[in-house]
Amino acid sequence: MPPVKPMLAKSVAKIPPDMQYEAKWDGFRAIVFRDGDEVELGSRTGKPLTRYFPEVVAALKERLPERSVLDGEIVIAREGRLDFDALTERIHPADSRVRMLAEKTPASFVAFDLLALADESLTDVELSDRRRLLTRALEGVTAPVHLAPATTDIDVARQWFEQYEGAGLDGVIAKPLGVRYLQDERAMFKIKHERTADVVVAGYRFHKSGPIVGSLLLGLYDDRGALQHVGVSAAFAMKRRAELVEELEPLRMDDTAGHPWAAWAEESAHESARLPGAPSRWSGKKDLSWVPLRPERVVEVAYDHMENGARFRHTARFRRWRPDRDPHSCTYAQLEEPVGYDLAEIFGPVH
């Protein structure tokens, strides 16, 4: 019965040997519960996703075993690539908009684990046996439900890591063959793509614990010469957070007058862009006030994906200061694009 917390993965630099390998899907993790005509989609946090993906619910009701619990990923494909941004549009309070998007950009479900079948819980069964049961349970399944490809050949996994990124996938997951399903434990391994970019530091937010740096606000110049907010870098030791306040003090501005992001305080500005002071759809009323800095320092950060080609999807990772870089040379032109790879090559047409 829901909720069930998914088994998690910890990041490693290289693909480890002697495991089961799968692509890392770039979507919404979902635990699917089917009991006859009832289908529920549970998110990674336990909150239901059911109302946001009516077309997925209908497909699962037709294609899954009558009583089953599966772990997988909800994805949306456009023009042969996964489109994470289209997924985020589904998290909307208006049922009419959700149903309109379900027709316009229908989602799919990629199954990669089986947690229960009929009256039997499989969480204490080893992965290799769960995979065999999953393959049997989904034999002949049709889109928009898919069985995630898996292999125990590390050379194939390395090939997937290089090729599948072009279809919008996120890397490779490695799973020990004997692992049982351990809820909320990092019992698997993820190997993700990483790129670097030189970005402008144009402000920071205070840490929740006090007057030390919580996150650096990062920017890139667009082709019009405007500095756009592209995300944050936030993983610092507590000592380093305090040092950054002193280090950045000479750049601190008394107010936002003359700052490229001065318009963040105007409510109308948030209608067209995610600015540093804008409320997040995920955090609600969380305080996102910030300290403006003169945009004169450049930092190299590591990132994995961009949202809409405009901002880092996840928190960027600090690598080093770049005093040799002119801030105005930090533009979107430096961002890499993976070589295209058609998603249909992975498991046939995606609907």
Alpha-carbon distance 71 to 173, whole Å? 14
Q: How far is CA 122 from the centre of its chain?
A: 27
Whether 203 contacts 291, CB under 8 Å: yes
Whether 163 contacts 81, CB under 8 Å: no
Q: Angle at the Cα of 31 (from 28 to 37), degrees rounded to 5?
A: 115
Residues with a catalytic annotation lie at 24
Neighbours of 293 (CB within 10 A): 21
What secondary structure does DSSP assign to 196-249, as a single string? EEEEEEEEEEEETTEEEEEEEEEEEE-TTSPEEEEEEE----HHHHHHHHHHHG
The answer for residues whose C-beta is within 8 angstroms of residue 2's C-beta and 6 or more apart is 31, 33, 40, 42, 46, 48
Radius of gyration of the chain from its Cα atoms, rounded to whole angstroms: 22
Alpha-carbon distance 278 to 285, whole Å? 10
> Coil, helix or strand for 153?
coil
